[in-house]
Chain A
Amino acid sequence: MNNQNSSTPGSTLPKGILEIRNLKKHFEVSKGSFLHAVDGITLSIGKNEVVGLVGESGCGKSTLGRTLVGLYDKSSGEVVYQGEKLPSRYASSDFKKYSREIQMIFQDPYSSLNPRMTVREIIAEGPMIHKLWKSDEVNEKVGFWLKRVGLSADHMSRYAHEFSGGQRQRIGIARALALEPKVIICDEPISALDVSVQAQVVNLLGELKRTMGLTLLFIAHDLSMVRYVSDRMAVMYLGSMVEVGPANEVYFRPLHPYTQSLIASNPEPDPEKERSRTHTVLKGEIPSPINLKPGCRFAGRCPKAMTVCQSVDPVFREVKPGHSTACHLYA
Chain B
Amino acid sequence: MSQTFSGDSGVAEAVKSSDLHPGTGAAFNADDFEPAVRINRFQGLSRPSLSYWSDAWMRPKKNRKATVSLAMVVFLALFTLVGPFLWRIDPSAQDMARISEGPTFAKTAVVIDEAASWTAPELSGIPAAPTASAENLLAPATLEADGVPSSQAVRLKWAPVTGASAYAVYRSETKPSGKVGTSELGVPIGEVDAGNKVGYEDTFNLERSEYFYSIVPKNGEEASKFTTLRVVLPSTIALSAAQALKSDIKVGETLHLSAHPFGTDYLGRDLLSRLMSGARVSLFIGFFAPLVMIFLGIVIGGAAGYTGGRTDNLLMAFADFVLALPFLLFMILFKIAFGVGAGESGIFPMLVAMVILSWPSSARLVRGQILQLRESEFVMASKLLGARPIYLLFRHLLPNTMGVILVSLTFAIPSAIFTEAFLSFIGMGVAPPTPSWGSMCNDGIQTFLTHPHEFLFPAIFISITVLSFNLLGDGLRDALDPRMRSTS
A contact set with B: CB distance below 8 Å: 66, 69-71, 92, 95-97, 99, 102-104, 106-108, 111-116, 118, 125-126, 129-130, 152, 154-155, 157-159, 161-162, 172, 175-176, 179
Contact = CB atoms under 8 A, between A and B. Distances in A.
Given A69-B384, A126-B385, A116 B400 contact: yes
Given A111-B376, A118-B49, A129-B386, A172 B381 contact: yes
Given A107-B377, A114-B378, A114-B396, A161 B482 contact: yes
19 contacts: A71-B383, A92-B383, A95-B383, A97-B386, A99-B384, A104-B384, A106-B380, A107-B377, A112-B381, A113-B378, A114-B396, A114-B400, A115-B52, A116-B400, A125-B385, A155-B46, A157-B49, A161-B487, A179-B385
Nearest to B51: A159
B35 interface: no
B482 A71 contact: no
A162 B482 CA distance: 11
Given A115-B52, A161-B487, A162-B487, A152 B43 contact: yes
Interface of B: 43-44, 46, 48-52, 376-378, 380-389, 391, 396, 399-400, 482, 485, 487
B194 to A, nearest CB: 88
Contacts of B44: 154
B49 A116 contact: no
A328 B400 CA distance: 52
A103 B384 contact: yes
Given A99-B385, A161-B485, A176-B381, 8 more contacts: A95-B383, A95-B386, A99-B384, A102-B384, A111-B377, A115-B52, A115-B482, A129-B391
Contacts of B482: 115, 161
Contacts of B381: 104, 106, 112, 172, 175-176
Contact of B377 (A108, A115, A161): A108
A71 B384 contact: yes
B388 A92 contact: yes
A182 to B, nearest CB: 14
Contacts of A115: 52, 400, 482, 485
Contacts of A111: 376-378
Nearest to A152: B43
B52 A159 contact: yes
A175 B377 CA distance: 13
B478 to A, nearest CB: 16
A116 B52 contact: yes
A51 to B, nearest CB: 19
A71 B380 contact: yes
A106 B391 CA distance: 21
* A interface: dominant SS: mixed
Contacts, number: 85
A201 to B, nearest CB: 16
A176 B378 CA distance: 12
Nearest to B388: A92
B61 to A, nearest CB: 19
Nearest to B53: A116
Identify the 8 closest CB pairs spanning chains A and B, nearest first: A96-B386, A126-B385, A112-B377, A99-B386, A106-B377, A154-B46, A158-B49, A115-B482
Contact of B378 (A96, A102, A112): A112
Contacts of B380: 66, 71, 104, 106
B39 to A, nearest CB: 16
A66 to B, nearest CB: 8
A125 B381 CA distance: 10
Contacts of B376: 111-112
A159 B384 CA distance: 21
Nearest to B387: A129
Contacts of B389: 92
A95 B378 CA distance: 15
Contacts of B383: 71, 92, 95
A175 B385 contact: yes
B116 to A, nearest CB: 80
Contact of B49 (A107, A159, A179): A159
Nearest to B396: A114
A98 to B, nearest CB: 8
Nearest to B485: A161
B31 to A, nearest CB: 29
Contacts of A125: 382, 385, 387
Contacts of B485: 115, 161
A190 to B, nearest CB: 15
A152 B384 CA distance: 26
A73 to B, nearest CB: 13
Nearest to B378: A114
Contact of A130 (B384, B386, B396): B386
A218 to B, nearest CB: 17
A266 to B, nearest CB: 28
Contacts of B377: 106-108, 111-112
Contacts of B382: 114, 125
B400 to A, nearest CB: 6
Contacts of A103: 384-385
Nearest to B400: A116
Nearest to A115: B482
Between B382, B388, B485, the greatest number of chain A beta carbons within 10 A of the residue's beta carbon is seen for B382
Contacts of B487: 161-162
Contacts of A126: 385-386
A201 B424 CA distance: 65
A161 B400 CA distance: 14
Contacts of A104: 380-381, 384
Nearest to B390: A92
A312 B293 CA distance: 60
Nearest to A179: B385
A158 B485 CA distance: 13
Contacts of B400: 114-116
Contacts of B399: 114, 116
A159 B378 CA distance: 14
Contacts of A162: 49, 487
A108 B384 CA distance: 16
Between B44, B384, B396, the greatest number of chain A beta carbons within 10 A of the residue's beta carbon is seen for B384
Nearest to A70: B384
